[in-house]
Amino acid sequence: MTALGLSRIGHAFFGRIVLSGVSLAVRPGEVMALVGPSGCGKSTLVHIAAGLIEPREGRVTRDYRRHAMVFQEPRLLPWLTAEGNIAFALRLARWPRAGRDPRVAEAARLAELGPEDLAKFPVELSGGMRQRVAIARALAPAPDFLFFDEPFTALDVALKRRMQDLVIAAAAAARFAALFITHDLMEAARVAHRIAVLDSRGRGLAGLRDVPGVPGARSDREVFATVQDWLGRDPAFAHVHDVDERRRA
């Protein structure tokens, strides 16, 4: 059973090959983390999976009702209040008008947004609050698949943890499947069921590993031990921390 299937995906920008032969299958209800060094094409891959970019080769199969996405930046509409931004996703999903208000309230509750925050415009909110609104917007139309494109990279460590907990809780409650892009192995080891490592030059996968335990039930010690184990013994993770900002896309 596959919610999202990528088979032999390849893509190039202006003749420069960024991805080739990447195959991946995300099961229903499963959070899969996708890691890889900077510039290896993670972001391009998730944009292809979400249908924002047409791949040059390969096939994407989607077996779910509806997807939503959380981007690296909040990408809120500045002319709508937080409430309006959350309702925007419902409008695009053609959610029945009468059911929108309770659904916005439910999504705001999941993202731990208070009623006083909902009336504010994005310019009046802090960076963390904006990303919360972006998460609430993604959860609002009750998607059964979510794309996360390095959603918490710009947040500080404490805020990042709270957001990860929020995603773990929401995934457990709403049972959505997700493809979670990150370059932070600790983050991947906290939120995901499985972790896929993209080859450092985008040539297929370097490895696919089960993360021991269940998201939300892992202690910090276990998470740390898992990451140390990957970095120390697993050749798939050898190049994850390589940095080449010139190739950054």
Partner 1 sequence: MTDAAAPDRIRAETAAPPAAPVPKGARIGAGRGARLARKAGDRAGRLGRFVWSGWAGLAALALLAALWQAGHEAYGAFILPAPLDTLVAARGVLADADAWAVLGQTSWRAVAGFGLAAVAGTLAGIAAGYSPATLRLARPLLTVSLGVPPIAWIVLAMIWFGASDATVAATILIAATPVVFVGAAEGVATRDRGLDAMAEAFGAGPVRRFLAVASRQMASHLFPALALALGTSFKVAVMAELLANAGGIGGELARARALLDIALALAWVLLAVAALIVVEYGLIRPLRAEVERWREAAEPWGVKR
Residues engaged in binding partner 1 (CB under 8 A)? 1, 27-30, 47, 50-52, 65-69, 71, 73, 75, 77-80, 88-89, 91-93, 95-96, 98-99, 101-103, 119-121, 123-124, 137, 141-142, 144, 147, 174-175, 193, 214
Main-chain phi, psi angles of 64, to 5 degrees: -150, 170
Q: Nearest distance from residue 30's CB to partner 1, in Å? A: 5
| Nearer to partner 1 (CB atom), residue 121 or residue 234 | 121
* Helices marked H in the chain: 42-49, 82-92, 100-110, 115-118, 127-139, 157-174, 185-191, 220-233
Q: Nearest distance from residue 158's CB to partner 1, in Å? A: 26
Q: Nearest distance from residue 157's CB to partner 1, in Å? A: 25
| Nearer to partner 1 (CB atom), residue 117 or residue 144 | 144
| Nearer to partner 1 (CB atom), residue 121 or residue 128 | 121
Kindly state the DSSP code that residue 67 receives in the 8-state scheme. E
- Side by side, which strands form the sheet with 31-35? 67-70, 145-149, 177-181, 31-35, 194-198, 205-210
Q: Nearest distance from residue 121's CB to partner 1, in Å? A: 4
Q: Nearest distance from residue 108's CB to partner 1, in Å? A: 13
Q: Nearest distance from residue 170's CB to partner 1, in Å? A: 12
| Nearer to partner 1 (CB atom), residue 172 or residue 186 | 172
| Nearer to partner 1 (CB atom), residue 179 or residue 206 | 179
Closest Cα to residue 91, out of 99, 157, 78, 184? 99
Closest Cα to residue 104, out of 126, 127, 88? 88
User: Tokens 């499947």 map to which residue?
Assistant: 177
Beta bridge partners of 4: 26, 62
CB atoms within 10 A of CB 215: 20
CA distance 39 to 249: 6
| Nearer to partner 1 (CB atom), residue 142 or residue 238 | 142
